[in-house]
Homo-oligomer: A and B are copies of this chain.
Amino acid sequence: MKGRYLMDTAPGEAKGTWTVPAVECPSRTVVEVLANKWALYVLGALRQQPRPLRFNQLGRTLPGITQKMLTQTLRTLERDGLVTRTVYPTVPPRVEYGLTPLGHEAGLLTVAIGEWALAHVDHILTARQAFDAQAGTEPRPVG
Measured CB to CB, the residues of A under 8 A from B are: 1, 3, 6-7, 16-23, 25-28, 30-32, 34-37, 39-41, 44-45, 48, 61-64, 78-82, 87, 89, 93, 95, 102, 105-106, 109, 111-118, 120-128, 131-132, 141-142
Q: Provide the bound-state CA to CA distance between A35 and B63, in Å.
A: 17
Copy tally for this chain in the complex stands at 2
What residue of chain B has the Cβ atom nearest to residue A55's Cβ? B142
Q: Provide the bound-state CA to CA distance between A20 and B111, in Å.
A: 9
Q: Provide the bound-state CA to CA distance between A27 and B123, in Å.
A: 11
Q: Are A113 and B117 in contact (CB under 8 A)?
A: no
Q: Which 6 A-B pairs have the closest CB atoms?
A: A81-B127, A30-B117, A23-B64, A27-B121, A79-B131, A27-B117
Given A35-B35, A78-B131, 7 further pairs, Cβ under 8 A: A19-B45, A20-B62, A20-B114, A35-B37, A79-B128, A87-B142, A105-B120
